[in-house]
Amino acid sequence: MEKSRWIAWGAALVIFGVLMVVTPKIPQSEEYHDFADQRKLLFGIPNTLNVISNIPFFFVGIIGLVLCYWKNYFQLSLQGELWGWTLFYLGVTAVGFGSSYYHLNPNDATLVWDRLPMTVAFTSIVAIFIIERVDEKKGTISLLPLFLAGVLSIVYWRYFDDLRPYAAVQFVPCIVIPVMAIIIPPMYTHSSYWLWAAGFYLLAKVTEAMDKPIYKWTHQIVSGHTLKHLFAAMVPVYLTLMLAKRTIELDRRSLLTIWKVRLVEVKERRRFKSNSTETSLDVQYSAVSTTNE
């Protein structure tokens, strides 16, 4: 088991190294800082809506941190879970500060404090998933390496102006977590909330990419980047709701298995309904025939 773990980590590092060699460098574009909505709407705050739309992160992060420790409200039974969710909510809370600070004066130097807490949240979620779906011990041990990988991706980008490691830290969890949520049996109920959270994050990325078109379509009421913050804040909201509602899953089946079973049930109901209709028509036809004779 120990040997297979080292082989897995080694394979991951080799794949990452190959990708770093074969893919071109991705520098940080200066155009990234040129947001559509740069209005001063409140107390002279630059980029007002892009700044204050980060407030939800702060409140959700604080609430999550409190509930992690207040009478064990989330019923976190494993030590690794508690550490992982604590790290996640610390990252979410820090996003509220870091992203607001960045949008007050958008540039590469302030962008560090926007992205750093996000990497903390991303990497802690991956560790939590390993704890819940794969192995408690492995997931707990992975907390520190994943956290360091996230921090190093920011350092690498800042010093070498190359976003490739950061892109991996951000987008790999976006692919791996929904896939794991679907195919690996969960420890807890309400597993579908992971997919809702992934959906909101996808919406956040879409609205971020359409910052200026959305600002134009809404007649300069709200920009895509402001909506991005609000959609992204729904991710920790849904995960918090999941933690509050979930219980131990006694019948551990993956979402994929559940969907397959439901699909079969739907097909069986349709087949039964079709057969019932045909039988009813046959009876009516027989009755009509007998009456005519």
* pTM confidence score: 0.85
Please state, in angstroms and rounded to a whole number, the distance separating the CA atoms of residues 259 and 45: 49
| Amino acid 2: pLDDT | 53
Task: Work out the pLDDT band at 33, boundaries 50, 70, 90.
Answer: very high
First to last CA, the chain: 80
Question: At 129, is the secondary structure helix, strand, or coil?
Answer: helix
| Res 170: pLDDT | 86
Instruction: Give the list of residues 6+ apart from residue 114 with CB closer than 8 angstroms, or none.
Output: 95, 98, 99, 101, 102, 103
pLDDT of residue 16: 64
> Residues 38-52: what's their mean pLDDT?
94
Say if domain 45-257 classifies as CATH 1.20.1070.
yes
pLDDT tier for residue 119 given thresholds of 50, 70 and 90: very high
Cα 235 to chain center, whole Å?
A: 6
Report d(CA 256, CA 34) in Å as an integer: 42
Residues 282 and 158: their CA atoms lie apart, in Å, by: 76
DSSP state of 204: H
Contact (CB, 8 A) for 231 and 206:
no
Q: How confident is the model at residue 88 (pLDDT cuts 50, 70, 90)?
A: very high
Nearest C-alpha neighbor of 97 from the set 67, 125, 126, 61: 61
Long-range contacts of 19-23 (CB under 8 A, 24+ apart): 19/164, 19/168, 20/164, 20/165, 23/164
- In this prediction, residue 176 carries a pLDDT of 84
Write out pLDDT tens, residues 221-279: 999 999 999 999 999 999 999 999 999 887 778 888 888 888 888 888 888 777 766 56
Chain centre to alpha carbon of residue 124: 11
187 falls in which pLDDT band (50, 70, 90)?
confident
* Residue 215 DSSP SS3: helix
How do residues 126-158 score in pLDDT, each as one tens digit? 999 899 888 888 899 999 999 999 999 999 999
The two three-digit tokens of residue 262, written as one number: 């439901």
What's the rounded Cα separation, in Å, for the pair 212 and 38? 11
33 carries a ligand binding annotation? no
Query: What integer pLDDT is reported at residue 38 of this predicted model?
Result: 95
Mean of the per-residue pLDDT values for the chain? 88
Stretch (H or E) spanning 149: helix 136-160
CA proximity to 65, closest of 83, 81, 86, 91: 86
Q: Give pLDDT, residue 22.
A: 72
Between 25 and 251, name the one with better pLDDT. Answer: 25
Rounded Cα distance between 36 and 34, Å, is 7
Q: What is the pLDDT of residue 178?
A: 87
Question: What are the structure tokens assigned to 267, written together?
Answer: 């097909």
CA distance 83 to 61: 14
Q: Could you tell me the two tokens for 173?
A: 């969890």
Whole-number pLDDT of residue 267? 82
Distance CA 254, CA 251 (A): 10
